[in-house]
Structure 1
Amino acid sequence: MSFVRNLVFAILLMNSFACSGQKDYLIKIETEKGEIVAVLFDDTPAHKSNFIELAEEGRFDSTQFHRVMNAFMVQGGDVFTKEKLAPADWPTLPAEINAKHFHRKGMIAAARQGNGINPERRSNGSQFYIVIGKVYNEEELKADMEKLQPAFMQYVQLASQEELRKEYSRLYAAEQFDSLTMLVVSKREEIEKSLNLNLTKNFSKEQIEAYTTIGGTPHLDQEYTVFGEVISGLEVAEEISKVKTGSRDVPIDPIYMNVTVEKMTRKKIEKEYGYNYPDGK
């Protein structure tokens, strides 16, 4: 029995050493604002391998963060425009949308064309964005605004809701749109009961925790492939998101990037960057 126990212990020890020595790709995005460091997810293999290949070939270098929006995201990596490839010929990647990878702040996702011309939600073959987003309160987060807004307008037409209708009109006239949104959100459960509707979005405990603490862009969940995560330099992406922009959210002063890839043991990545690899990563 002692031999068996020792053998099992030896196997577990060998597995532990194997895992600690396993290497991953560390992504470094260098900009004039500073360096952003990221890892990419193993369970989005097409996106991970494609990004690494583009980076190793230097094709991301001298592309820009060409679309930036404060409290939303920064988008860049337009390799194919730089290479003067016609948009009709831009490569795409199959969607690798995974419910466990959602749009919390710091996540990296693939840009894509809209559902009208891209019902399969295929990703652009090079462009990516880094999520900035905002922090939500739980009531605001759970409200399905696409359904709630028309339901609210129906509700305020009821004779019993004259005071609510007046308050809505007052806020609208004063252009107090944040207060207007919160007024609509605060009436969600009341409207559900009155009109017998479901106006609530379902989120996991992990999503609720993330979106009500560090923030993100929850309305993008399950629509775009999230394939990586910033583990250092998120403040750089935030600074980029705040630069002055012109037409179509393009920075007035271009923000260029150079992207490199370094192989490093996962143990070293965890130690140097304080990152913990989740199960199934």
Structure 2
Amino acid sequence: MTIKSSFTVTILLLIFLASCRENPKEKVKTPPTRTASKKDSVTVDTSETKKEEEFVLTEDNAIDFFFNYQKDLKADKVKITTRFGSFTVQLYDNVPYHKANFIYLARKGYFDNTQFHRVVKNFIIQGGNSDDRLTGQKRGKIGRYLLPPDTRKGHRHHRGTISMPSSEIDNPHMLASPYEFFIVVTDPGSYHLDGDFTPFGKVIQGMDVVDAINQVETGDGDWPSQNIYIQKAEVIE
């Protein structure tokens, strides 16, 4: 074999060997891009769902919300428990916004651990507020809104009537403060309140408990000397 022939064979052999090592990418699969695992998907979906479910009442949406909320509302009684005992209020069907508001707040647990913060002997006990941060935080999560008065349904402030006070802040139309309520203790009633405040129910059981709360000692601003907590406000379904 001549040197030229030997050189040619060598070149061909090298080319053949090189061709056997070509295109390694064809033999190795391209690494897949990372897809979200089930855990990742749940995390993302839950976060987005949570944002969608976060609902806050405002002056703009409160009336529409309670209009729809009361349509299928069958419950009309709420049991309120304190260290003095329990009493039950029944809410009027023809005062729908105030009824729906009270039921909604009770179901949200708003009233739990609030207080009867104002007691005027032989007149009223007023509840739904507190001097701790938790109450303010709960209000912030539920929303800031007022309710229009509904005083033309024929209900009066008889003894045992539950009614809603008006907001004290720039309120020429006597809009109701939705987080608070008062119960009339006066016998037979406090009729000078008619037309200014909205009666939306009455005590049907446990009026002796209301009377006991009304007789506690009070300090400045009619605030009880010892806090009277609403331990539980539960809707009777």
Tell me the TM-score normalized by structure 1.
0.53
Q: Look up the equivalent residue of 1:219 and give its one-letter code.
A: H
- Considering Cα pairs closer than 8 Å and 6+ residues apart, tell me whether 1 or 2 has the greater RCO: 1
Q: Are residues 1:242 and 2:222 paired? A: no
Is residue 251 from structure 1 mapped to residue 221 from structure 2 by the alignment?
no
Residue 221 of structure 1 corresponds to 194
Deviation at 1:83, TM superposition (A): 2.3
The 2-side partners of 1:105 and 1:99 are apart by 17
1:77 paired residue among 125, 128, 146: 128
Q: Secondary structure at the match of 2:97?
A: helix
**Whole-angstrom CA distance in 2 between matches of 1:72 and 1:117:** 25
Matched, 1:36 2:60: no
Say if 2:72 is the partner of 1:24.
no
- Which consecutive unaligned segments of at least 5 residues does structure 2 have? 1-72
Deviation at 1:41, TM superposition (A): 0.7
Query: Structure 2: how far apart are the matches of 1:34 and 1:40?
Result: 20
For 2:198 and 2:74, the matched residues in 1 are separated by: 24
Q: Does 1:97 align with 2:151?
A: yes
C-alpha distance in structure 1 between counterparts of 2:218 and 2:106, whole Å: 26
State the distance in 1 between where 2:109 and 2:170 align. 30
Asked whether the equivalents of residues 121 and 214 of structure 2 are also in contact (C-alpha less than 8 Å), the reply is yes
Q: What are the equivalent positions in structure 2 for 1:179-190 lying under 5 Å apart?
A: none
Question: Matches of 2:74 and 2:114 in 1, distance apart?
Answer: 28
Which ranges in structure 1 are unaligned for 5 or more consecutive residues? Answer: 1-21, 135-214, 264-281
Deviation by residue 1:35-66 (Cα, 9 ceiling, x = unmatched): 01011111111111111011011111000000
Q: Is the 8 A contact 1:90 1:124 kept in 2?
A: no
1:1-281 aligned within 5 A: 23-78=74-129, 82-84=135-137, 90-113=144-167, 117-134=170-187, 215-257=188-230, 258-263=232-237
**Distance in 2 between residues matched to 1:43 and 1:78, nearest whole Å:** 26
Whole-Å Cα distance in 2 between the matches of residues 25 and 129 of structure 1?
A: 17
Instruction: Give 3-state SS (helix, strand or coil) of 1:101's partner.
Output: coil
**Alpha-carbon distance, 1:99 to partner:** 5.0
Q: Percent identity between the aligned chains?
A: 37
Alpha-carbon distance in 2 for matches of 1:60, 1:36:
14
Q: Secondary structure at the match of 1:83?
A: helix
**SS state of the match for residue 58, structure 1?**
coil
Contact kept? 1:92, 1:122, Cα under 8 Å:
yes
| Counterpart code for 2:122 | A
Kept in 1: contact 2:125–2:210 (CA 8 A): yes
Provide the residue aligned with 1:163 in structure 2: none
Q: Which amino acid aligns with 2:228?
A: I
3-state SS, counterpart of residue 102 of structure 2: helix
CA contact (8 A) 1:99 1:222 kept: no
Is the contact made by 1:64 and 1:254 (CA closer than 8 Å) also made in structure 2? yes
Query: Take 2:121 and 2:98, find their aligned partners in 1: how far apart are those partners?
Result: 26
Q: State the secondary structure of the residue aligned to 1:60.
A: coil
SS of the residue corresponding to residue 118 of structure 1 reads coil
Name the CA distance, whole Å, in 2 between partners of 1:234 and 1:100. 22
TM-aligned CA deviation for residue 112 of structure 1? 1.1
- State the AA in 1 paired with 2:124: M
The 8 Å contact of residues 25 and 262 in structure 1, kept in 2 or not, is answered as: yes
Larger radius of gyration: 2
Q: Is the 8 A contact 2:116 2:128 kept in 1?
A: yes
